[in-house]
Structure 1
């Protein structure tokens, strides 16, 4: 990656992705008692079925917020429409996938802004996956046009707990500083504290980096947290957990949790999404048979499960 962060497609971080943590402090808050943050659905319709069933089984109303990359493997028209018609009926923000689906050019590729340690072949396959998805999006322009109306972040209030929902990190839609490889770096600590000060939130809920994270941050007598659900539509932690979503609520989770904490008066948990794996594999392989780009990059992950 070049010094200015802009070089090859798939590793680029477009300037239009950058908003800064202060933007969350100025965002209008939405109040709810129970919030599901659903990142990295990746076009998995059976996972969406399960998530909506989970919400319906809760004792009270649930706000669903899809924080980007709800599209990816759903390159068939039926799958594209099924995901987007349902997701866009809830709260949603942009992921890099959706941001690039509605962009005019292809300079950013998939928009992932992959760091240097990610193999070039993975980046190239991601760009080709996105190009195929973009062709589908152009056939479904009534839905794709709605992506331009989505924000890159959202702010919620759950009791006394202020929550900033982002796709990447506090500053950028494709930022990686809330990722497992970055968040504990010593040179990240000062930035993390200043980020909470600027955003004026108690919790950041993110996705993008595709690996789960829970980071507690001391804030005087209080504490704050960053929670990254990894992926809602794929297994996590080497197949130890299925899809994961983040549940933030005034009441404890009625479901088993993978990890969690409490901040202010809110319960913050990563909740497994146990979807119909057989049905999902049929859908996936129909679009991405052996030796296809998505099969090469993701098949081993989506078929690994020790849960």
Structure 2
């Protein structure tokens, strides 16, 4: 069974000031999602599942249904606060979504085989999709997952520091730990991270997680179990979130799963703020000028 691409697109873009999932960034109005799905099709994915919200479903479908018709199977699932297991309710006053693990769980019925998961507003590069496809085609263990590890220097900004999860692996590239570094940037042309007044130099080649993961269908059972445990412990809180990558970390440390870190030299970029938009537009145009993408992506 060919893999499915799961796209997390339910965010409301509060910092961006609008639905950045739909913002026109390519020369003919393409969004980052357009390039992600295009790369997934080229790599061999047979289906895409979008996690969205009912509030912008019509707008989203009008944007993607016509261009994807006949190219890849498409399905939509919805992340809403009240989509909880039987016996649980949304605490009064809570408005914040339940997190990426909850969003992922919404796709359980839509995905029957192996799958990869990405953020809607991140550009990952074609090589990454090809690497993930190769892993899913060759991996035989239900509890063996994978994560694309980007070279740190390919994910940095020239305009300030960023937060990155720096991956620690064993001798055969199995993930052992992800160390969250909240301030990484350039200092005198060197890559460093800041801790208070102290700076520590990095090579820039360290693998970092940008939320591109590959799973087997059996992971949904672990998600259900994990989300219910989360609700028991933190479901009464206003801002607590259930993250699928935190669940994977727990499973790794308990010996219940392994995760390969797949090396990628691709250039990552994404949009968080409006100020990111011209940088992304320029990056996409550079790739078009190199012949990696056609000017009219879907023509």
Same fold (TM over 0.5): no
Which has the larger share of strand?
2
Report the TM-score, using the length of structure 1 for normalisation.
Answer: 0.30
Please give the TM-score of this superposition, normalised by the length of structure 2. Answer: 0.31
Determine which structure has more spread, i.e. the larger CA radius of gyration.
2
Higher relative contact order (CA 8 A, sep 6+): 2
